Amino acid sequence: MKYIDQEQVQNKMSSRLIKNNILKTLFALATMFGIVVLVILIVRVLTQGLAWIDMDFITGKLSTNADRAGIMGAILGTLWLMAVVIPVTLVLGVATAIYLELYAPKGKLQAIIQTNIANLAGVPSIVYGLLGLTVFVRAMEFGNVVLAGGLTLSLLVLPIVIVAAQEAIRAVPQHLSEASFGMGATKWQTVKNIVLPAALPGILTGAILALSRAIGETAPLTVIGIPALLIPFPEGIFDSFTVMPMQIYYWTIDSVLVEEYAYLAAATIIVLLLMLFILNSIAVIIRNKFQRRY
């Protein structure tokens, strides 16, 4: 005797297929939603800002006169900021991940640290701004310079790098490090020669995420007191600076006074997105280069 009645199955088949198609459409619509929003955003920014972008705008100095205003100062500020954030987060983040994954004794303390890192990733960015203001700007007396801003943003994105690096290290097959230990290699030799090269693509993916986050941050920088109007270009990590997101912010709120500022903000957004795209591409290229080797 059979338990499955073919006739009944046939009768129900079309309703099952309809349900399947409806859900397929729903899932596609959900995906489209994100894409449509992104397209609208890009189109709006491009129509508003593209006309304002020319060589003078990119290489020029900041000015209250909308026709003469340029964003070279903000571009340099962002680049200097990244020059602090990238090495600081990579070194601190990867070192922390190595310690937690490979050296730290597995136990309560390690679990507590782990939970705290996860929690830190969820702390609002403005709180990091207050921390930066207290520690770097005031206590260490850096002032509102690139170094203070860079260290503040480094703290902000550090959890992202740590977690990504930990996952990348954990994903390196155990049998590879066992082979290395089995030949009398020390932990550091194993980390340097076997674990890190294999984990590098994953670590760089984390670095890309962290970089994208840091480059667009505004809130913590407003708290540490980045000047609203700054004419001279920053020439090092001890100079005052502004960054593109800050420039966008101030131009947007001031657009009630001068209408053209809104277009300048849009133009700056285009440059910022372009820069983000270039930096990410570099990271992706580096990542793929290492990935191919294995």
Partner 1 sequence: MSLKTESKPSFTPIAQETFLDKKVVYDTKDLNLWYGDTHALKDINLSIYEKEVTAIIGPSGCGKSTYIKTLNRMVELVPTVRTTGTITYNGMSILDKKFRVEDLRTRVGMVFQKPNPFPKSIYDNVAYGPKIHGIRNKKILDEIVEKSLRGASIWDEVKDRLKENAYGLSGGQQQRLCIARCLAIEPDVILMDEPTSALDPKSTLRIEELVQELKKDYSIIIVTHNMQQAARISDRTAFFLNGEVIEFDQTDNIFTKPADSRTEDYISGRFG
Nearest partner of 77 among 204, 218, 251, 207, judged by Cα: 218
Tell me if 292 contacts partner 1 by CB under 8 A: no
Q: Measured from the CB of residue 202, what is the shortest distance to partner 1 in angstroms?
A: 14
- Residue 69 token pair: 């205003």
Q: Which stretch binds partner 1 (CB under 8 A): 52-60, 147-155, 189-197, 220-228?
A: 189-197
What does DSSP assign to residue 145?
B
Euclidean distance between CA atoms 131 and 120, whole angstroms: 13
Please state, in angstroms and as integers, the Cα–Cα distance from residue 36 to each residue in 30, 40, 116, 265, 277, following that order.
Answer: 10, 6, 37, 22, 20
CB atoms within 10 A of CB 203: 23
Euclidean distance between CA atoms 182 and 197, whole angstroms: 19
Q: Measured from the CB of residue 205, what is the shortest distance to partner 1 in angstroms?
A: 18
Number of residues that bind partner 1 (CB under 8 A): 21
Q: Which stretch binds partner 1 (CB under 8 A): 46-54, 65-73, 179-187, 238-246?
A: 179-187
Q: Measured from the CB of residue 175, what is the shortest distance to partner 1 in angstroms?
A: 4
Q: Measured from the CB of residue 256, what is the shortest distance to partner 1 in angstroms?
A: 59
Q: Which stretch binds partner 1 (CB under 8 A): 6-14, 17-25, 194-202, 209-217?
A: 194-202
- The 3-state DSSP class for residue 104 equals coil
**Contact 125/59 with Cβ under 8 angstroms?**
no
Q: Which of 58, 66, 83, 176 binds partner 1 (CB under 8 A)?
A: 176
Q: Which of 63, 189, 281, 288 binds partner 1 (CB under 8 A)?
A: 189
Q: Which of 181, 213, 222, 284 binds partner 1 (CB under 8 A)?
A: 181
Euclidean distance between CA atoms 69 and 48, whole angstroms: 16
Please state, in angstroms and as integers, the Cα–Cα distance from residue 259 to each residue in 69, 127, 256, 264, following that order.
Answer: 14, 32, 6, 9
Q: Measured from the CB of residue 117, what is the shortest distance to partner 1 in angstroms?
A: 20
Residue numbers 81-140 binding partner 1 by CB under 8 A: 105-106
Q: Which of 30, 65, 175, 259 binds partner 1 (CB under 8 A)?
A: 175
Contacting residues toward partner 1, per CB under 8 A: 105-106, 173, 175-176, 178-186, 189, 193-194, 197-198, 293-294
